[in-house]
A and B are shown apart, each in its own frame.
Chain A
Amino acid sequence: MRIRRSEQFLGHLLLVVGALLALLPFLSIVLLALTPPGERTGGGGLPSSLTLENFATAWTRGGFGQALWSSLVVAVAVVLGASLVSVLAGYAFSTMRFPGRFVLLGILLVGLVMPYEGIIVPLYYLLEGMGLLNTYWALILPQIATSVSLGVLWMRTAYANVPRSLGEAASIDGAGRWATLWRVYVPVSAPAIATLGTLLFLYTWNEFLMALVLVPQNPDVQTAPLALSFFAGSTRNFDPSVTAAAAVIVALPILVVYAIFQRRFITGVVAGAVKE
C-alpha cells in the first residue's frame, strides 16, 4: 500500500474533529449541569467547582424517576409485543405458501415509509373512543403497530438465512410447524431478534410526538422525553443548569445501554435502514 503519510494523517484528523463536534453539544450541557446554580461560565472556561445539586433539584422537581420508569415499561412492552408478532408473521412469510402473500407484504411495506404525523389525529380519537388516552396502552398499542412493518420484514430475512435442512430435519423428527418455529427457527435467529429488539427499544424510548399527543394529561405515564420537554418548557425552571441536568438524566440510560451494545445498535440501524 503506497499511501502517503499526509493522507493517513488527514483522515485521522478529520475523524477526531468529527468526533469532537459530535460530542461537544452534549458535553457542554453535562458541564452546565455540573456548574453550581447561579454561576455563569458562559460556556467558556470551567466552573469554579462542580456540584450535583442541579441533578437533585431536577430529579425531585421534574419527577424523572417516574418518567424513566414509564419509558422503560412502554419500551419493554413494545419490544416484547412487536418482536413476538413479528416472529410469528415473519415465519409465515418466510416458510409458507398462501394466497395473498405478496399483497399482504406490499401492505406492510407502506408502513415503512408512513409518517406518524399522517395518522396521529385519527389515532387520538381512536384511543379516546377506546378509553385508553393517558394510559400506557395509548403508547404501547400504536407503537407495536408502527413497528410491525420493520419487524416482520426483518424476521423474514432472518429466517431466510436458516438452512432449510434444519427445518426439514425437525419435521422428520415429528415436530409440527409450531414446534419447528420455537425449536429451530427462533433459536437460530436469536441474534437477529436481539438486534431487532435493540432497534425497537431505541426508537420507542425516544418517541416524542406520540407521547405528546396521546398521554398529555397523566404525569404517571408520561415518558422521559415528554417529561423533559414539559420541564424545560415550564417557566418555573429559569435556571438553565437545572434544565441541563434534567436532559442529562434523561439521556444517561440510553447512553449506558448504547455504550454496552453499540455494535448491535449500529448494525441494527444499518441493516434496518438497508431493508427499507
Chain B
Amino acid sequence: MTTLSPPRPGPARAAGSAPRRRPFLRRYDWDAYLYLVPAFAFYLVFLVRPVVESIWIALFDWDGITASEWVGFDNFAEVLADPQIWQATLHSLVFVVFYALLPTALALVFVGAIARIRVRGLAAFRALLFVPYILSTVVVAISWRWIFAETGPLNTALRAIGLDGLTRTWLGDFTTALPSVGIIGTWVMFGLAFVLFVSGLQNIPAEQFEAARLDGAGPVREFFAVTLPALRGEIQVALVLMITAALRNFDIVWNTTSGGPGTSTTVPSYFIYREAFVTHQVGRASAIAVVLTLLIFAIVGAVMWLTRDRDAAAPRGGTR
C-alpha cells in the first residue's frame, strides 16, 4: 500500500464518472465466480448430482452390486401401484396433522393468550418451550419410549387416577401406535411454532392492539382481527417447515416403532432406507425417493399458495 500505484480504473472512479461508458465486459465483476466456486463445488457434487442420479437410478432394476437393467418407468409404476406405499403415504398425511396442524393450532392458542398481557420472564418461557426442538431425535425417541412403556410414566399416571382400563403399551398397540408417534412430533414442533409466532408477535405495533381495544374488542375478536392476520408470514413459514418434517419423518419412526407393529407406522422414508440398504432394491428405493420429493415440493407449493399474502398489492402501511 505504500508503493506508488498508477491510478486505477477502480470502483472509486466508476462510481463518480459515467459507468455506462465502460466496455461491455467491464460491466460485470468476472471474479465473482471465483468467490462462488467453493460453495457451488460442494453443492453440485453432493447435492445437485445426487438429485439427478436419483432420477436416473430409478429407471433401472439394480441390486446395488451387479449390473443394472434398464426398466424405464416400471419402478414408478410398481411403486404407485403398491398398497404398502400408499399406506405409508397415508401415515405421513396423518403425521402432517400431528407435526404441523396441531402444533400450529396450539401455539396460536398460546400466543393469543399472551398477546395482550405483559408476560413476566417471556425469554425464559421461550427458552424452555424450545428445548424439545433442539434435542436429538434419537434422545426424543428414547424419552418417549419410556413415557409410553408398559411400566412408564403415562401408564403409571393412568393407574394412579383409576383408569387402569386405558393402560397399554402405547407404541406396540395397532390402534395407538400411529397417534402416539404423532404426539411425539407435536411435542417437538410446538416449540418451533411458538418461538416463530412470538417473534412475529413482537413485530406487531402496539397501536394496533390499542386501536382494537378502543373499538371495544375482547380477547377473541382481537386475536382474529389483529394477531392472526399479522402472523400470516410466520404461520406460513411454520407450516412449510413442519409439513416438510412430517413428510420426511424417518428418525422418530425408526427409533420408536421401526414401522411396527405390523405396518401400522410405516412411512415412505422408512421404505427408502429399507429397500436401498436392507433388501437391495435400489431402483425401487430411488423411485420412492423421487416420488416423495415431488410430493413434498407439491404440498409445500400448495401451502405457500394457500397462505400467500392476498392483499399484498393493496396499500396497507407497508409493515411487511
Which residue of the partner chain, among A24, A174, A224, A247, contacts B142 with CB atoms under 8 Å? A247
Name the interface residues of A1-17: CB closer than 8 Å to any CB of B. Answer: 1-3, 7-8, 10-12, 14-15
**Residue of B whose beta carbon sits closest to that of A208:** B251
What is the CA–CA distance of A32 and B140 in the complex, to the nearest angstrom? Answer: 15
Whether A64 sits at the interface, judged by CB under 8 Å, is: no
Whether A166 sits at the interface, judged by CB under 8 Å, is: no
B50: A residues at CB distance < 8 A:
119-123, 126
Given the known interface contacts A43-B156, A125-B64, A145-B46, the answer about A25 and B147 at a Cβ–Cβ threshold of 8 Å is yes
A38: B residues at CB distance < 8 A:
none
Q: Are A43 and B157 in contact (CB under 8 A)?
A: yes
Whether B90 sits at the interface, judged by CB under 8 Å, is: no
A247: B residues at CB distance < 8 A:
138-139, 142-143
Whether B29 sits at the interface, judged by CB under 8 Å, is: yes
B238: A residues at CB distance < 8 A:
273
What is the CA–CA distance of A24 and B51 in the complex, to the nearest angstrom? Answer: 40
With both chains docked as a complex, state the minimum distance between the C-beta of A18 and any C-beta of chain B, in angstroms. Answer: 6
Whether B88 sits at the interface, judged by CB under 8 Å, is: no
Q: Are B119 and A15 in contact (CB under 8 A)?
A: yes
Chain A contact residue count (CB 8 A cutoff): 104
B57: A residues at CB distance < 8 A:
121-122
Q: Are A115 and B293 in contact (CB under 8 A)?
A: yes
Whether B166 sits at the interface, judged by CB under 8 Å, is: no
Whether A193 sits at the interface, judged by CB under 8 Å, is: no
Contact code string B222-255 (vs A, CB < 8 Å = 1, else 0): 0000000000011001101100100110110011
What is the CA–CA distance of A114 and B130 in the complex, to the nearest angstrom? Answer: 24
A124: B residues at CB distance < 8 A:
276-277
With both chains docked as a complex, state the minimum distance between the C-beta of A149 and any C-beta of chain B, in angstroms. Answer: 7
Q: Are B143 and A29 in contact (CB under 8 A)?
A: yes
Given the known interface contacts A119-B50, A145-B46, A266-B195, the answer about A89 and B39 at a Cβ–Cβ threshold of 8 Å is yes
Name the interface residues of A157-189: CB closer than 8 Å to any CB of B. Answer: 168, 171-174, 177
Which residue of the partner chain, among A11, A89, A225, contacts B38 with CB atoms under 8 Å? A89
Q: Are A92 and B47 in contact (CB under 8 A)?
A: no
Q: Are A85 and B136 in contact (CB under 8 A)?
A: no
Whether A77 sits at the interface, judged by CB under 8 Å, is: no
The dominant DSSP class at the A interface is helix
Contact code string B29-44 (vs A, CB < 8 Å = 1, else 0): 1111101101110110
Binding site for A on B (CB under 8 A): 1, 5, 10-12, 15, 27-33, 35-36, 38-40, 42-43, 45-51, 53-54, 57, 64, 109-110, 113-114, 116-120, 123, 125-140, 142-147, 149, 151-157, 160, 187, 190-192, 194-196, 199, 213, 219, 233-234, 237-238, 240-241, 244, 247-248, 250-251, 254-255, 268-269, 272-273, 276-277, 282, 285-286, 289-290, 292-293, 296-297, 300
Give 20 CB contacts A-B under 8 Å: A11-B119, A14-B110, A15-B110, A22-B190, A42-B153, A85-B39, A91-B35, A98-B28, A98-B29, A98-B32, A99-B28, A113-B244, A113-B296, A115-B244, A120-B289, A148-B47, A168-B11, A208-B136, A250-B138, A254-B135
Given contacts A15-B114, A42-B153, 16 further A-B contacts (CB under 8 A): A22-B190, A26-B139, A43-B146, A88-B35, A89-B36, A92-B36, A97-B28, A117-B272, A119-B54, A123-B46, A208-B255, A209-B250, A225-B139, A228-B138, A266-B126, A273-B237
Binding site for B on A (CB under 8 A): 1-3, 7-8, 10-12, 14-15, 18-19, 21-26, 28-29, 32, 40, 42-44, 81, 84-86, 88-89, 91-93, 96-99, 104, 107-108, 111, 113-126, 141-142, 144-146, 148-149, 151-152, 168, 171-174, 177, 202, 205-206, 208-209, 212-213, 224-226, 228-229, 232-233, 240, 243-244, 246-247, 250-251, 254-255, 258, 262-263, 265-266, 269-270, 273-274, 276
Nearest 4 interchain pairs by C-beta: A43-B153, A145-B46, A122-B53, A89-B39
